[in-house]
Structure 1
């Protein structure tokens, strides 16, 4: 049972929110979501598995719901609450609007902060060096490798402005808080990294990231993105963020989580590029060893040199073998079927994995020795800094190198899910990249998060596909009867105000005449409409249609011809001025686009969002499903299309007063057996079908 103190805090916050929110409308769905979040996280349903998967339709108010249901609970139990999102837009909404509003009306006081990765902050010492223009040869070597950009007079002037603002308290070292854009090559020279910007060193203790970390440790609610969360979890948790077993989690936009997890479980490396930087690491290792006083790290230095020496013959053999194979005669990618590597790759992979593991451990010891010598006064700061920069730079490269070969060498038992493994050519065709990625990542999420955290709420407007949680559950590593709770709450909006229109079409999307029919049909569908969005499945077709419509005198805003922000600003300006406006966009405009009221009344979807498995990971997934006797189209393509179609239709109704029309020009919704399931999963618009 929920404690009386917690129930009282939630009730009081609700009353204060209702009084403080203009035009507040009590929603049964929101109240139910708040209660289910609180009950699940408190262990009322299942003490050992406090996980809730909640699909909450537009208008329920997800962020205020989980604020009410989770913040009071976390505060009363003296635990951290981590809110993770997929997009910058939602982060900004939480930090600048929703959480400040809730704090103002909350019965339980709390603090919150936006947590960013280390790379978003400058390193105080590196900024000082850059501003003073010190030309440390070793430091220049590391940065030249990293950015291939040497600072010019303009860059040095910017470093001096940054340093002046930082030392005078006018800038906090956060890249996003500088008023102008800082170009990547300029930022890379001063960005903090986990190897060189070490808190144990006195001259790094007050670097911006460490000050932000101290503030984070004293804050109740941490807002992060999925990428940062997964970065921490892949390192074991508790490295960047607090340990999972000390935290409750809210994972908003949770449908993105499996893809982000897969990216963090993947690795890649180039052959010739790796050979070059490993040679330079060997030179650097000798230099580090000579710089260190006494012989206390002689063993580590020798092991590093031996491991690096062992890597080069295997890489050379790999390079020679790859150059003799016809892998790229038809495409710039080559995927190994079922993830099985041909000889001699399996043996080379094992050797490279083991040698890189030894090298990684030895370099870690050498790096630790440099820090220790600096702390003990055996190395001067001016000597140690460039050595630390080099060691940190190579540690990052070596970690990724080892991860790739660990994945390449991993044995997969018969019947178990294979890895996707493939090759690709560099753009200049002078080098070859090796890639490896898991196909299924659910077990990683179970290992990294679900089995460790105090509790988690996974929430999104689109977690079901074909009216079922099965597809998401499989992606996220959740089992059917593992104690996880599922909740589906429909939007409280009246969808009868909007029409779903399926006009008669001569062609289906696979027919050669479909693009021509779109050019013929769209002018009438756009006529007399003030605010239109037309969604396409490909840039090629969108641009062909745009050309055809413009030849008929239509004024269009086309994705790719200006930035997204610029297009939307112009669109809103036209709508406000009473001028008809038409946006043409692809799939990225089908999610996260917020055009309420008169900014969108006419939504046209030209084609069902079926993804063709073109990436090596998607191809490997389809191959694995087929091998098990399944159907990848039914098991992956259709559910994914259902989710994307719901998201696309969700662009129209953003507020209670919104109305308009959704037109879908793909007759497969009516002519194919899978069409009924896709239609039934859509919001309950009134329907007009020709």
Structure 2
């Protein structure tokens, strides 16, 4: 539905914004506006027939296009006209904050468009007043709430945590804090924050006595009337995983914009994967059994719980025995694994996702046992919910609520373990495409045990079922979506409809202002030692001592070796990833450049994307080698294995497009504004000497080339 009136609204909003902010209209923005408008026009208006084509647009817009303005001035009036909620999902919380606090107010002020907007965050970003009250009431004594910490979070000491909790309750009472972690004036350590926040499983919702003061529900209520919801990929996918409409509006009533949308397939895989750490899961089941025994005198007073409480201990003992059996079996599987040449924590990946028969049998048993545990905990939770609603039960509501929180946490963890064991129980035949299944042996940092994981290797089925076929409309945009000048890689990984609208919009930057250079080297990365020696020899000659530069490596080992090799003459100018946080490295780098000094950042993949160093902050990007994926990634290996099993070439279909995309992202660190100049140097002759290298070279922006 794209009426002449709607076209005029979009055109007038864009022109008003350009004129008011004294900006020059960009051809790329006009292209984006047209493509997005034509795509969303596929959404039926009130009284119109069913959708004939998917209202999905995948649009790669080069750096400097001004994507935010283009999609906002188009999608906002169209969503309002179609009576749909606009959900803008960014890849990071930092981008989300910028959009809600800077971009949207700016667009609203200058465009003449009238709309409301709200920020959506998950429960874990807000304090749970019920948990905070209990922890403060119990003080430094033993808490009645179970310590259901994730694997990577440990408990804080009362001496560390209690002063923070007292400060929180005081600030809430004075109206000086809204319960949002991001609005607390100081950094809160994860081990301090985790006990006073909650998740979907533990929250009692509208039954909670603190519901009227609940920070999360206050924030969520604001979403109900907002025209635009700003959030991030993780929360959007979490909502879709819960069926849609749990936190955000239902997909059928929503138009989604995924900014930095090239991250979407990987984010989706992370949300729909499963995980179980054997050692800590065993300990958790044992702790839960003890906790239920302690709660039996109270819980046994509720109808139908007494029999459950009598049966559960024996069932949990059986589950513990099965987990211990699984751990012994996994340990035997690792007896034949040679950790030499592997990462610090050895991995065992099952070819084509097929689990050995003996482990599959154990998994079937554990899946059945965790299914029974989930069923029992679900029934108990339902009884407690009824008790919270019953004003005449005669039981202490505070104690009932505490146990509802405890049982919700137990249930959430049991459901996570169940998903993993079901995935392993089904792992007897190769699926198409396969599910990757692998085990990691933990050997470092005082950790012990085995991590079992399962994940789809492609997000096609996940996103088709939860997003592409359900959403009213979807816009995917990023500066880097294509690989080798094709959308095929994104289609493969995301399953986006082939009859969607795919468009490339060129950057307004003049790439003739920059040089892409491949100097003569005596070695290629295949000989790692010789290639590192060549970089050590060449790098001091390449880098201007007075300039800002970024040197990007594909492996930490090579980065450290090169640093050792050049440190004698350059150490005072190098800031290396790992020595400080990313933010601190960037701060120090800018500080040095502002002081008129030279500065060089040595970084890995996280510095090859999302780093903005305009002008003098970065005049030279040096890339050690074509950034092929790390070969020990279980997902990459499982996908390559599947492609090869079909008689196709995984190197050309997977590795080369992935590397081309990463190289474009790395080279994109150079030109950040229309006036930037500089040089990109690739120290990898394969881009000239290999046939696939030429394909990668031709996918780069049109820099001036100097190929020795």
CA distance in 1: counterparts of 2:550 and 2:430, whole angstroms: 49
Is 1:107 aligned to residue 112 of structure 2? yes
Is 2:66 the partner of 1:67? no
Distance 2:9 2:379 in 1: 51
CA distance 1:306–1:103, change in 2 (3 Å): farther
Q: Does 1:536 align with 2:536?
A: no
* Match in the other structure for 1:625: 643
Q: Which moved more, 1:652-661 or 1:263-272?
A: 263-272
Matched residue, 1:338: 352
Point out where structure 1 has 5 or more consecutive residues left out of the alignment: none
Q: Which residue of 1 aligns with 2:12?
A: 12
Q: Which one of the candidate residues 142, 145, 163 is aligned to 2:147?
A: 142
In the TM superposition, what is the alpha-carbon distance from 1:510 to its structure 2 partner?
2.0
Backbone CA RMSD of aligned residues: 2.3
Of 208, 223, 238, the match for 2:245: 238
Alignment partner of 1:180 is 2:186: yes
1:118 aligns with 2:123: yes
Which residue in 1 is equivalent to 2:276? 269
> Which blocks of at least 5 consecutive residues in structure 2 are unaligned?
45-50, 340-345
The answer to which of 433-442 and 193-202 deviates more is 193-202
Matched with 2:227 is 220
Shift of 1:78: 2.3
CA apart distance, 1:139: 2.1
Whole-Å separation in 1 of the counterparts to 2:10 and 2:197: 42
Report the counterpart of residue 410 of structure 1 in structure 2. 426
Contact 1:464 1:643 in 2 (8 A): yes
Deviation at 1:576, TM superposition (A): 2.2
Q: Relative to 1, partners in 2 of residues 1:143 and 1:682: Cα closer, same or farther, differing over 3 Å? A: closer
Shift of 1:381: 2.4
- Offset at 1:222? 1.2
Instruction: State the Cα deviation string for residues 591-647 of structure 1 (Å, max 9, x = none).
Output: 001111222111211211111320222222222222111222111110000001111
SS in 2 for 1:551: helix
Matched, 1:510 2:509: no
Output the CA distance in 2 between the equivalents of 1:203 and 1:337. 51
- Closer, same or farther: CA 163–138 of 1 in aligned 2, 3 Å: closer
Shift of 1:407: 1.1
Q: Structure 2 CA distance, aligned partners of 1:504 and 1:142?
A: 59
Equivalent in the alignment of 2:342: none
Decide whether aligned partners of structure 1 residues 135 and 376 sit closer, same or farther in structure 2, where only a CA change above 3 A counts. Answer: farther
Conservation of the 8 A alpha-carbon contact between 1:142 and 1:389:
no
Taking a change above 3 Å as real, the CA distance of residues 36 and 475 of structure 1, as seen in their structure-2 partners, is same
Instruction: Kindly indicate whether residue 678 of structure 2 is the aligned counterpart of residue 660 of structure 1.
Output: yes
Contact 1:532-1:582 within 8 A present in 2 as well: yes
The 5 A counterparts of 1:44-63 are 47-63=52-68
- Distance in 2 separating the partners of 1:150 and 1:507: 51
Of residues 586, 589, 600, the one that matches 1:571 is 589
Summarize the Cα distance change of 1:438–1:552 in structure 2 as closer, same or farther, 3 Å threshold: same
**Which of 455, 467, 473 in structure 2 is aligned with 1:449?**
467
Q: Secondary structure at the match of 1:519?
A: helix
Deviation of residue 414 (structure 1)? Answer: 5.7
Structure 1 residues 281-338: Cα deviation after superposition (integer angstroms, max 9, x where no partner)? 3344455554243424456556755753553443343234334444464132212222
- Any idea what the Cα deviations from partners look like across 1:245-291, whole Å, max 9, x if unmatched? 11000011111111111111211112232222223333444555542
Q: What are the within-5 Å matches in structure 2 for residues 32-47 of structure 1?
A: 32-43=31-42, 47=52
1:380 paired residue number? 396
Whether 2:309 is the aligned partner of 1:295: answer no
Aligned runs of 1:520-535 on 2, under 5 Å?
Answer: 520-527=537-544, 529-535=546-552
Q: How many Å separate the matches in 2 of 1:612 and 1:185?
A: 32
Q: Is 2:610 the partner of 1:596?
A: no
Bigger shift: residues 267-276 or 293-302: 293-302
Deviations 1:437-469 (A, max 9, x none): 111221111011111000000111111001100
Which position in structure 2 is the counterpart of 1:681?
A: 699
1:545 aligns with 2:566: no
| 1:362 and 2:376 aligned | yes
C-alpha distance 523-246 of structure 1, shift in aligned 2 (>3 A): same
Deviates more, 1:556-565 or 1:164-173: 556-565
Q: Aligned pair 1:466/2:473, yes or no?
A: no
Distance (Å, rounded) in 2 between the aligned partners of 1:671 and 1:325: 42
299 and 417 in structure 1: CA distance in 2 versus 1, 3 angstrom threshold? farther
Is the CA contact 1:304–1:358 (under 8 Å) kept in the aligned structure 2? no
Length, aligned pairs only: 687
Report the secondary structure of 2:671's partner residue: coil
Shift of 1:122: 0.5
In the alignment, the residues of structure 2 paired with residue 140 and residue 192 of structure 1 have an alpha-carbon distance, to the nearest angstrom, of 12
Q: How far 1:356 moved relative to its partner?
A: 1.6
CA contact (8 A) 2:86 2:255 kept: yes
1:434 to 452, 458, 462: 452
Conserved 8 A contact 1:370-1:384: yes
SS at 2:209 equivalent: helix
SS in 1 for 2:433: coil
Cα shift at 1:495: 0.9
Distance 1:577 1:135 in 2: 50
Q: Which deviates more, 296-305 or 13-22?
A: 296-305
Q: Following the alignment from structure 1 to structure 2, what is the Cα–Cα distance between the partners of residues 374 and 384?
A: 7
| SS state at 1:189 partner | helix
Q: Aligned partners of 2:482 and 2:311: how far apart in 1?
A: 53
Distance 2:113 2:219 in 1: 24
User: 2:330: which partner in 1?
Assistant: 322
Q: How much does 1:401 deviate?
A: 0.5
CA 1:667 to 1:459, structure 2 compared with 1: closer, same or farther past 3 Å? same
Return the TM-score normalized by structure 2: 0.92
2:210 aligned to which of 184, 196, 204? 204
Residues 43 and 473 in structure 2, CA contact (< 8 A), matched pair in contact too? no
* Separation (CA, whole Å) in 2 of partners of 1:323 and 1:469: 43
Q: Indicate which of 245, 252, 258 corresponds to 2:265.
A: 258
Distance across 2 between alignment mates of 1:197 and 1:571:
44
Q: 1:609 to 1:323 in 2, by over 3 A?
A: closer
Aligned counterparts of 2:140 and 2:407: Cα–Cα separation in 1: 18
> How far apart in 1 are the matches of 2:369 and 2:294?
21
Give, in whole Å, the separation in 2 of the partners of 1:672 and 1:258. 29
Q: Structure 1 residues 202 and 562 mapped into 2: Cα distance closer, same or farther (>3 Å)?
A: closer
SS of residue paired to 1:203: coil
| Kept in 2: contact 1:300–1:363 (CA 8 A) | no
- Report if aligned partners of 2:548, 2:620 keep a CA contact under 8 Å in 1: yes
| 1:264/1:186 CA distance change after superposition, 3 Å | same
Structure 2 distance, partners of 1:135, 1:386, is 17
